[in-house]
């Protein structure tokens, strides 16, 4: 049975991915420092194919022995998002760049490891020039430390000489949303729904700015798709992950939500500059690997709204649901 090491496994995307890998009959070693706790892994903790190891990707000794046991590595562990990286620039540099490089270099040398999947981001594009859709061939213009570190490691990964039977892939995720065992409310869609679901006035800055969005289940599925794809198609390749029809301006998101959530009030505040304004087309992953999303923003707003209204989360404003 194939065995996968997932770093950052207790996180928003990692906890969904681990569930999917187990359902897919993979053995999983989940590795995480538990910055936001590990409750997200409770429901699978007793699964016979699941092992959890608490550790720090910045400390080679914490994970080195695990690399001898696995066939693939999905590397999600990071300081995630612009605010968290600005607040902790040294930890972000150590984690997102230095530790990623060291982990990757070790994986390249381990003959048992055939795949390495890295979670990059569409934030790498920064602000688009004009109205054209961006894709994997577009120039990168990272404007935050978070994106700069992602670009730096992505370039290192793609430019590295690797063994014939080792395929490394960078996935540029869209902005994620949706329900996960470690749900985050510092992400646009989830945060907007939370505010409106509890009758708070939603204040939107820069309603005209575009971003691509993708459901957390679909992003996690893209990692498994890469692990299963013909290595020739994914070796030292970068793919955007999302759907070309899932680019939204913030106002479009609010309009969708106002249709679903009764009596919701939105206030718009004009802002002319946003460093992250981009539309992305995702034909490469669709045409090369056959990736299709299963969930769209309009269908998912109601699910998040119902979760909140049902009181499943005691305090949706709890710090554990934010990365900063």
User: What are the residues binding ligand NAD (CB under 6 A)?
Assistant: 7-8, 10-14, 32-36, 56-58, 76-80, 95, 119, 121, 173, 175-176, 182, 184, 187, 323
The pair of three-digit structure tokens given for residue 3, joined into one six-digit string: 């065995």
Closest residue to ligand NAD using C-beta atoms: 11
Compute the least distance from the CB of residue 16 to ligand NAD, in Å. 8
Compute the least distance from the CB of residue 61 to ligand NAD, in Å. 13
User: Tokens 């470690």 identify what position?
Assistant: 182
Compute the least distance from the CB of residue 199 to ligand NAD, in Å. 26
Nearer to ligand NAD by Cβ, of 173 and 209: the residue is 173
Compute the least distance from the CB of residue 187 to ligand NAD, in Å. 6
Compute the least distance from the CB of residue 68 to ligand NAD, in Å. 19
CB contact at 8 A, 253 and 192:
yes
CB contact at 8 A, 4 and 27:
yes
Nearer to ligand NAD by Cβ, of 19 and 95: the residue is 95
Q: End-to-end distance of the chain based on CA atoms, in angstroms?
A: 38
CB contact at 8 A, 202 and 195:
yes
Q: Buried b / exposed e across 181-193, counting CB within 10 Å, b at 16+?
A: bbbbbebbbbbbb
Nearer to ligand NAD by Cβ, of 172 and 305: the residue is 172
Residue 135 to residue 140: CA distance in whole angstroms: 10
Residues 6 or more apart whose Cβ sits within 8 Å of residue 2:
26, 27, 71, 72, 227
Nearer to ligand NAD by Cβ, of 103 and 264: the residue is 103
Q: Is the four-CA dihedral 31, 34, 35, 41 of positive or negative sign?
A: positive
Compute the least distance from the CB of residue 115 to ligand NAD, in Å. 17
Compute the least distance from the CB of residue 211 to ligand NAD, in Å. 10
Nearer to ligand NAD by Cβ, of 96 and 197: the residue is 96
Residue 72 to residue 78: CA distance in whole angstroms: 18
Nearer to ligand NAD by Cβ, of 24 and 62: the residue is 62
Nearer to ligand NAD by Cβ, of 28 and 119: the residue is 119
CB contact at 8 A, 232 and 289:
no
User: Tokens 């670009």 identify what position?
Assistant: 151
Nearer to ligand NAD by Cβ, of 14 and 126: the residue is 14
Query: Which of 150, 36, 157 lies closest to 96, judged by CA?
Result: 150
Compute the least distance from the CB of residue 241 to ligand NAD, in Å. 8
CB contact at 8 A, 14 and 183:
no
Query: Which of 253, 220, 178 lies closest to 24, judged by CA?
Result: 220
């Amino acid at each position: 049975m194939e065995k996968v090491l997932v770093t950052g496994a207790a996180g928003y995307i990692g906890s969904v991915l681990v569930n999917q890998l187990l359902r897919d009959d993979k053995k999983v070693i989940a590795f995480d420092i538990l910055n936001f706790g590990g409750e997200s892994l409770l429901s699978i903790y007793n699964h016979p194919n699941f092992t959890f190891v608490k550790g720090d990707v910045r400390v080679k000794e914490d994970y080195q022995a695990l690399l001898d046991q696995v066939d693939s590595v999905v590397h999600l562990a990071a300081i995630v998002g612009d605010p968290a990286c600005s607040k902790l620039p040294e930890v972000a540099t150590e984690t997102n760049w230095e530790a990623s490089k060291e982990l990757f270099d070790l994986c390249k040398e381990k003959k048992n490891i055939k795949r390495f999947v890295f979670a990059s981001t569409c934030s790498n594009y920064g602000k688009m020039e004009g109205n054209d859709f961006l894709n994997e061939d577009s120039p990168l213009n990272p404007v935050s430390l978070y994106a700069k570190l992602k670009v730096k490691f992505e370039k290192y990964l793609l430019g590295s000489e690797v063994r014939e039977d080792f395929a490394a892939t960078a996935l540029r995720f869209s902005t994620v949303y949706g329900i996960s065992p470690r749900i985050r409310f510092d992400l646009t869609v989830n945060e907007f729904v939370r505010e409106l679901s509890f009758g708070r006035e939603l204040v939107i800055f820069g309603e005209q700015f575009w971003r691509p969005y993708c459901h957390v289940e679909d992003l996690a599925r893209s990692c498994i798709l890469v692990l299963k794809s013909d290595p020739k198609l994914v070796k030292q390749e970068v793919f955007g992950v999302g759907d070309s029809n899932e680019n939204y301006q913030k106002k479009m998101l609010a309009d969708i939500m106002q249709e679903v959530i009764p009596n919701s009030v939105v206030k718009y505040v004009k802002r002319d500059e946003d460093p992250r304004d981009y539309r992305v087309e995702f034909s490469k992953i669709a045409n090369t690997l056959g990736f299709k999303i299963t969930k769209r923003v309009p269908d998912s707003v109601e699910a998040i709204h119902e979760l909140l209204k049902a009181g499943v989360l005691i305090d949706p404003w709890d710090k554990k649901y934010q990365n900063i």
